[in-house]
Structure 1
């Protein structure tokens, strides 16, 4: 599985399936492998930032720079694990853990008010002022029992997001 020019064996498929907690079927993994090989233009066995940004939906995503930090240099197995949060079969907790990683850009296991504010700024652009973003975020945190100065751990973050429906799915086309 090291070289992207080789085909996946049944063992490789099952290993990847296990690595991503069986959130993708074997057919979906084969389709994802084909897509991975298309993205890995130089057949290095991993995806670079430039290759990742060749996907138009990702290049125009307002948080693409944060996502790049998470995907730079991913091999196929980790690429599938990254995408597993977007599976229709992923649990709400798996989706929240992924979102937490997006917000926790310094990887210290905590999300601060400013971390969340930065993501909101990326996502809302000029549609909201900094003052509006801060007001909304302060209110959401207060409603969840947290202050502006709090650092949210994954458990805290889950409490804040857990009650809100998250629609975060990507359909994997089967060839």
Structure 2
């Protein structure tokens, strides 16, 4: 598992599942391994910071933290606290989609995030269809301008879990 060119064994998959408290299925771990191998360009078994930042979804988050002071940094991470309210978590998600900070999220904004998340795994047409279907199911259209309260309405009963444990000695 250390070398990107090696095969992922059943033992490796189970070990990774245990390490991440079974947060991912075996198929998801295989998919993540394939993505890891794509990022590990020198096949060293590790991803460099440069390789890590080539992942659009991580680069998007890092743009959000660029230039933060300590208080802003902690406020940014607070959305991942087990003590954060559902509203705080939804507000964070809204900010990810509202990349220009104008308080409105367009179809294009959502498509940009979806493109970052899916990469080349699905086509642009498929992305647009998925997003159109999700919006339609939630009672919105491609022309809808969504604001924070729309995200609260859609995600408010979702059981959203976004938590990171901060180790304390």
Tell whether the structures are fold-level matches, with TM greater than 0.5: yes
Aligned to 1:116: 110
Alignment partner, residue 35 of structure 2? none
Q: Which of the numbers 129, 135, 142 marks the counterpart of 2:136?
A: 142
Partner of 1:49: none
Task: Determine whether 1:131 maps to 2:125.
Answer: yes
Structure 2: stretches of 5+ with no match in the other structure: 1-47
Any unmatched runs of 5+ in structure 1? 1-53
Secondary structure of 1:110's counterpart equals: coil
Aligned length: 122
TM-score, normalised relative to structure 1:
0.64
Structure 1 residues 60 and 165, CA gap change in structure 2 (3 angstroms): farther
Distance 1:172 1:143 in 2: 36
Greater RCO between the two (CA within 8 Å, min separation 6)?
Answer: 1
TM-score by length of 2: 0.66
Aligned with 1:66 (options 60, 68, 71) = 60
Aligned partner of 1:100 in structure 2 is 94
Would the alpha carbon gap of residues 122 and 169 (structure 1) be closer, same or farther in structure 2, given more than 3 Å must change? Answer: same
> Partners of 1:133 and 1:164 in 2: how far apart?
22
